[in-house]
Structure 1
């Protein structure tokens, strides 16, 4: 999902927005001559590899700290502590995280964006703190993971936005309009990513309540019960629904985007909310987690529609 998000953000979203004409009422503003996309295909591969390695490291360290809960929640899917020893798990974590940071620092320095290196450092620290401490807390860990996934879109655009050469007022207006449009579009996808991930994280906490009880975690379902946690997930689903309705309303003249959004995102979300309202068992919440992941996937895949504009 992370790699797909990065590829579509760069090649479908950024490229489509910056390398097509922008119309403003009856005037077509001519784009300036850009210095080119910040990252070549090779450098983008380095960026993607860095983020994938850091993400992998996050999964590994999370599995290390979750050995005992995973043996209860998903005994057939436990790898660390069974197929791979804890010691080897730490070694794999160190290798993947170090390489991810190394590539991140390389891409930041080679593009003269030294300050961007803090994104990679901060992400590594955030994933470790989440796995060690915040995952057991009330909503903070859920929100952190949601924000980090939204950061994938932001980071990809940050590294790939072209640098314009503004030489006259028309080009300056065009550049400003294009950048504003990209910012609004990026912000829309980030909100969608954060909300869907946050809801799914709450659902996963409900699903994993038995294992979390053993380690005395203070997650939402443990402190308030499954039903109340489910109602809170439903509340945030309503916020997501309202957000989607606003986005779809703004796309009423874009037939392809509108049809895609209604059929593949809005209707599945309504079905998700219906099932969530009546869910009670671990199996029910496991299916809901998978369904939300599908909704997230279709949301990200909608970036490909920009290629047709």
Structure 2
């Protein structure tokens, strides 16, 4: 469980670093008239953090109900009220932020995120594959939300040249977000392979427990080709971004090929732990490509 907590903490750190780099390294220096003022941006972060914290609290409540003998959450009734209060504050903040950019209906995205978290924790986390998809979407949702609320409103300008530049940045940002979602999705499957024995012990179903590690490793390798194809197509489409393409080629594609080889031959818990760490490194290198993109576009 300590390993899982460390991995979750790393993913939270990746979310924080990514949204900070998007805003202060990529968007703010290159684009005028962003949707969110600094105050609203930080309120956006607070709202997202509260929703995720509420999800963690709900998860503890559900685990306590599933395992009454364990001391996970002492007062379930009090915790439920706390969960509802946290989500109410988060939604109220998101409504204020959405109103500030004259897109009041945007608060529905936050409401949807809270609802998806609730459904995932109480029901969907037991559905094969679907739980992997939803979990990775939850992790990557702050990236998409930031692009929608901060960058998209700035596209409403009359100057066609500026609009074209912003449109390019929007397209690239969405491609990065999509790649991050795919990497997180594959990472959840690798984690299932790593903890297959634990899942069997607690009678939890996953693709790994049904088909075994050998088949799972081969299947996940084929699935992992999809992000690689996305990366290569990105490089082909944006040939003018020579600095970024060089960075991606050396620090993303080459480690990714190494990851594919290790995954294909993965058999033991230790093997998949190493594979997961390689994938984590690739995710970090993908995140820092935002910095390289800034220098290339500047």
CA distance in structure 2 between the partners assigned to 1:99 and 1:283 by the alignment: 42
Q: Does 1:235 align with 2:222?
A: yes
CA RMSD of aligned residues (A): 2.6
2:103 to 113, 117, 131: 113
| Higher-RCO chain (CA-CA 8 Å, sequence separation at least 6) | 1
Q: After the TM superposition, which segments of 4 or more aligned residues of structure 1 sit over 6 Å from their partners?
A: 67-70
Report the Cα distance in structure 1 between the residues aligned to 2:215 and 2:60, rounded to whole angstroms.
27
Query: Secondary structure of 2:144's partner?
Result: helix
Compute the TM-score of the two structures, normalised by the length of structure 2. 0.82
- Give the equivalent residue in structure 1 for 2:184: 197
Q: Does the Cα contact within 8 Å between 1:195 and 1:236 map onto a contact in 2?
A: no
Q: Is the 1:57–1:93 Cα contact (8 Å) retained in structure 2? A: yes
Which residues in structure 2 correspond to 1:224-303 (within 5 Å)?
224-303=211-290
Label 1:271 to 1:85 Cα distance change in 2 as closer, same or farther (>3 A): farther
The number of aligned residues is 278
* Correspondences of 1:1-309 after superposition (within 5 Å): 1-19=14-32, 36-66=33-63, 81=71, 85=74, 87=76, 90=80, 93-161=83-151, 162=154, 164-166=156-158, 171=159, 173-308=160-295, 309=298
Do 2:217 and 2:265's aligned partners in 1 also have CA atoms closer than 8 Å? Answer: no
Contact 1:16 1:306 in 2 (8 A): no
What's the offset of the Cα at 1:247? 1.9
Higher helix proportion (structure 1 or 2): 2
Residue segments in structure 2 that go unaligned for 5+ positions in a row:
1-13
TM-score by structure 1 length? 0.80
Q: Quote the Cα distance in structure 2 between the aligned partners of 1:233 and 1:55.
A: 28
Structure with higher Rg: it is: 1
Distance of 1:69 and 1:197 partners within structure 2: 27
Q: Is there any run of 5+ residues in structure 1 with no aligned partner, and where?
A: 20-35, 71-79
